[in-house]
Amino acid sequence: MPLIVSWSGIPPAELKPVLESMELRRFRDERGGLLLDLPRRPLPDPSTKAPVRFRPQVFGIKTPQSVPTFTVDGQVARIWREEKGKVRLKPFELLPKPARREVDEAASRLTKFIA
């Protein structure tokens, strides 16, 4: 439940009864963590790559502040910030062109949402 609490911002004490009242499918990830899904929804092929996702923050262990990041195929790839109405990316390393196109498209959608 920690990921859904983090994602939703709803305290565990409030979220737990809601989740328990719902008919959800329950799965386990590779590390044994609980995954929840809506019933009777199709599952992606196991080889499906995770889409680019922008996250509001990830805690930095070497600095006291948290930084906004985005993921590529489920892994934190870079940090980003909103600057003058646009999403700016700060690279950790170069991304392959297909991944960079996907990130640029996601950044464009986020920029439109911010505006």
Q: Give the separation between CA 16 and CA 7, rounded to whole angstroms.
A: 14
Whole-prediction pTM value?
A: 0.51
Which sequence spans correspond to the domains of the chain?
A: 2-37, 53-114
- Half-sphere exposure for 79 (CA within 13 Å, toward CB): 11
Summarised one tens digit per residue, pLDDT across range 61-90 is 666 667 788 888 877 888 888 888 888 888
Residue with tokens 């930095």: 60
